[in-house]
């Protein structure tokens, strides 16, 4: 789970799995790990979700946390335009650190429609970059399962 601070990564994980670790790991170690077994096209796979603390001015994702990853969700806050640009930058850095990996861009906070800032131009840019993206609402649970399933499919195909 990658993305800048407060884009809703933890909420997405929480709505997807039942967590055994407390969220405080995020602020202490910078990562919280959860496990979710799912079935994709009849094949059981198991996600080990590394919910990495959101990047801000003082914290950037440690490359060691990315090491060994099979894929990632790049979370963007649909109500904050700046998170979109930062996600583009984060994706590039991730690719530079661990090489090309399957990923899904997640445009979160879909429930806050009145504050939504991502327009068709942004989505076109994603298309142009050939990114797969899914609009989600961790609060309502919309698109969450789909996002993880799609990522799973991509990983299996890679």
Partner 1 sequence: MSPADSESDKRPEGQEPQEVLEIEKLRRLITGPERIQIDQLRERLENPELRTKDISQILPEAILLRTSQDEKIAKALAPTVEKAIESSIHRNRKVLVDVLFPVMGPAIRKAVTSTLHGMIQSFDKTLEYSLSLQGLKWRFEALRTKKPFGEIVLLHTLLYQVEQVFLIHRKSSLVIQHVMSKDVKIQDPDLVASMLSAIRDFVQDSFKLEKDESLDTLQMGSDRTIWVEQGAHALLAAVIRGTPPSDLRIALRETLDTIHLRHGEALEVFDGDTALWEAVRPDLEDCLQSRYKPKQKKTFPLFWVLFGTGLVLLGIWCFFSIQTHGRWMHYLERLKGEPGIQITSGEKRSGRYHIYGLRDPLASEPVDLLKKDKLKPDKFVFNLESYTSTHPQVVLKRIDAILKSPSTVHLELKDNVLNISGSASHSWITNMREAIPTIPWISKYDDRNLIDMDLNNFDNLREKIEKRFLLFEFRSAEMAKGQELEFQAFMEDLKNFINLAKGLEKIVQVDIIGHADSQGTERANLLISQERADKILSIIVKEGLDAKSFRTSGLGSRELFREEKTNQDREFNRRVTFRVIG
Q: Which residues of the shown chain bind partner 1 in the complex (CB under 8 A)? A: 20-21, 25, 29-31, 33-35, 46, 48, 50, 62, 64-65, 67-70
Nearest distance, CB of residue 22 and partner 1, angstroms: 12
Nearest distance, CB of residue 151 and partner 1, angstroms: 15
- Between residues 51 and 77, which has the closer beta carbon with respect to partner 1? 51
DSSP string, 73-141: EEEEETT-HHHHHHHHHHHHHHHHHH----EEEEEE-TT-GGG----HHHHHHHHHTT--EEE-BTTTT
Q: Which secondary structure element, helix H or strand E, spans residue 50, and what is its range? A: strand 43-52
- Between residues 20 and 96, which has the closer beta carbon with respect to partner 1? 20
- Between residues 46 and 114, which has the closer beta carbon with respect to partner 1? 46
Nearest distance, CB of residue 30 and partner 1, angstroms: 6
Nearest distance, CB of residue 2 and partner 1, angstroms: 15
Distant-in-sequence, close-in-space partners of 130: CB < 8 Å, separation ≥ 6: none
Question: Hey, is 56 helix, strand or coil?
Answer: coil
Strand partners, 35: 48
Place of tokens 């991730």: 94
Question: Hey, is 1 helix, strand or coil?
Answer: coil
Nearest distance, CB of residue 74 and partner 1, angstroms: 19
- Between residues 67 and 121, which has the closer beta carbon with respect to partner 1? 67
Place of tokens 């001015």: 57
- Between residues 32 and 135, which has the closer beta carbon with respect to partner 1? 32
């Amino acid at each position: 789970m990658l993305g800048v601070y407060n884009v809703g990564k933890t909420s997405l994980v929480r709505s997807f799995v039942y967590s055994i670790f407390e969220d405080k790991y995020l602020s202490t170690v910078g990562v919280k790990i959860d496990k979710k077994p799912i079935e994709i096209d009849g094949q059981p796979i198991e996600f080990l979700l590394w919910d990495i603390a959101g990047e801000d001015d003082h914290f950037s994702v440690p490359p060691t946390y990315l090491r060994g990853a099979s894929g990632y969700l790049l979370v963007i806050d649909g109500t904050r335009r700046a998170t979109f640009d930062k996600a583009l930058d984060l994706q590039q850095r991730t690719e530079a650190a661990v090489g090309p990996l399957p990923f899904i861009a997640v445009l979160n906070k879909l429930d806050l429609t009145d504050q939504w800032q991502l327009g068709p131009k942004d989505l076109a840019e994603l298309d142009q970059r050939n990114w797969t993206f899914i609009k989600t609402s961790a609060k309502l649970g919309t698109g969450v399962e789909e996002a993880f399933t799609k990522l799973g499919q991509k990983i299996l195909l890679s």
